[in-house]
Amino acid sequence: MTDAEHPTDPLPDLRAGWVLAVPEEPKKRRRVWPWLVAAAAVVIVIVIVVVVVVIVETVLRSTIEAGIADQVRTSLELPADQPVDVSVEGPLTLQLLTGSLDDIRLSSDDVPLGPTTADVDVALRGVSTNAPYTVGAGVATVTLDQSQVAALTDSVAQIDIVELTLEDPAIVVGTELSLFGFGIPISLSLVPSAEAGELVLRPDSLQVSGLAVTADGVRDQFGSLADPILQDWQICVAQYLPAGATLTAASVTGAELVATFDIDGRTLNETALQQNGTC
């Protein structure tokens, strides 16, 4: 019998992977531990609580700020459509729980101020949310531009004001004095200050026909005609503002007159302090 009649199968190639391959056991699925599920639940709860707090905070803030704005309009007898911006700083919900608002900011432009208007900014600290309503500290800043200052000074000026400009640190007033039938141009620099709650404009320097002169020189030249120019200008701003606001400082800064008022902490609770003051 020949090999051709009975062929021999070739030996398997030992390098072939299927010869020595061992079937792999199926991988075991990792178990989701209970603490992972609990952690996820806690995260979800925290997210829900945060969302709820944010919604409550937003609603409370909007309601309270709008209420404060309405109260300001009523107390100061402002027009119903007078824009009043109110901002309560910091987390409102926590402050309500403690019974005190840390920082309230109010602002309004073109607020009536006697014969003129002014921009007003108010900062209140430590405002109680329960009666008696008090303020720990309060400051109001009243700002007037050149035209507003001109309207305010017209009410007290004893001279004819030809021109008025704000030139830091003074209010510069232009007028004329008559001498032998001729109009002599005079430029008067007035420096503002606060004295006993009044706005005082005190002559600081003068120019006659463009030349610097002393007060005595003006008196010598014009006599009693110069008295209205050389005296202090006293403006009672208290009559236009609540009695609880006291003028403490005034200055010309840039092209604006800036007046600062301290606010009595009892103003929110005492009607008398909410009424206009006197000088």
Best CA proximity match to 258, nearest among 195, 185, 169, 189: 169
What pLDDT band is residue 71 in, cutting at 50, 70 and 90?
confident
Best CA proximity match to 100, nearest among 65, 123, 133: 133
Cα 15 to chain center, whole Å?
85
pLDDT of residue 64: 87
Domain membership of residue 182 (yes or no) is: yes
Domain membership of residue 61 (yes or no) is: no
Q: Provide mean pLDDT across the span 194-208.
A: 91
Q: Is there a contact between 139 and 133 (Cβ–Cβ < 8 Å)?
A: no
Q: Residue 97 and residue 127: Cα distance in Å, rounded?
A: 13
Domain membership of residue 268 (yes or no) is: yes
Domain membership of residue 257 (yes or no) is: yes
Domain membership of residue 216 (yes or no) is: yes
Beta strands in the chain (DSSP E): 85-88, 100-113, 116-128, 135-144, 163-167, 170-179, 182-195, 198-208, 211-213, 233-235, 245-253, 256-263
Domain membership of residue 9 (yes or no) is: no
pLDDT digits 0-9 by tens, 223-273: 777 787 888 999 999 999 999 999 999 999 999 999 999 999 999 888 899
Q: Which residue has the higher pLDDT, 158 or 12?
A: 158
Mean pLDDT over the full length of the chain: 83
pLDDT of residue 213: 83
pLDDT of residue 133: 85
Q: Tell whether the model's pLDDT for residue 1 goes beyond 80.
A: no
Q: Tell whether the model's pLDDT for residue 14 goes beyond 50.
A: no
Q: Provide mean pLDDT across the span 156-177.
A: 91
Q: Is there a contact between 108 and 81 (Cβ–Cβ < 8 Å)?
A: no
Q: Which residue has the higher pLDDT, 144 or 43?
A: 144
Q: Residue 57 and residue 68: Cα distance in Å, rounded?
A: 16
What pLDDT band is residue 52 in, cutting at 50, 70 and 90?
low
Lowest mean pLDDT, pick from 28-37, 122-131, 161-170 = 28-37
Domain membership of residue 54 (yes or no) is: no
**Which amino acid is located at 121 in the chain?**
D
**DSSP notation for 23-84:** PPPPPPPPP--HHHHHHHHHHHHHHHHHHHHHHHHHHHHHHHHHHHHHHHHHHTT--TT---
Q: Residue 237 and residue 277: Cα distance in Å, rounded?
A: 9
Helix (H) or strand (E) holding 15: none
pLDDT of residue 84: 95
What pLDDT band is residue 3 in, cutting at 50, 70 and 90?
low
- Total number of domains constituting the chain: 1
Q: Is there a contact between 172 and 206 (Cβ–Cβ < 8 Å)?
A: no
Domain membership of residue 12 (yes or no) is: no
Task: List all residues 6 or more positions away from 275 whose beta carbon is below 8 Å from its beta carbon.
Answer: 242, 243
Domain enclosing residue 274, as ranges: 83-279
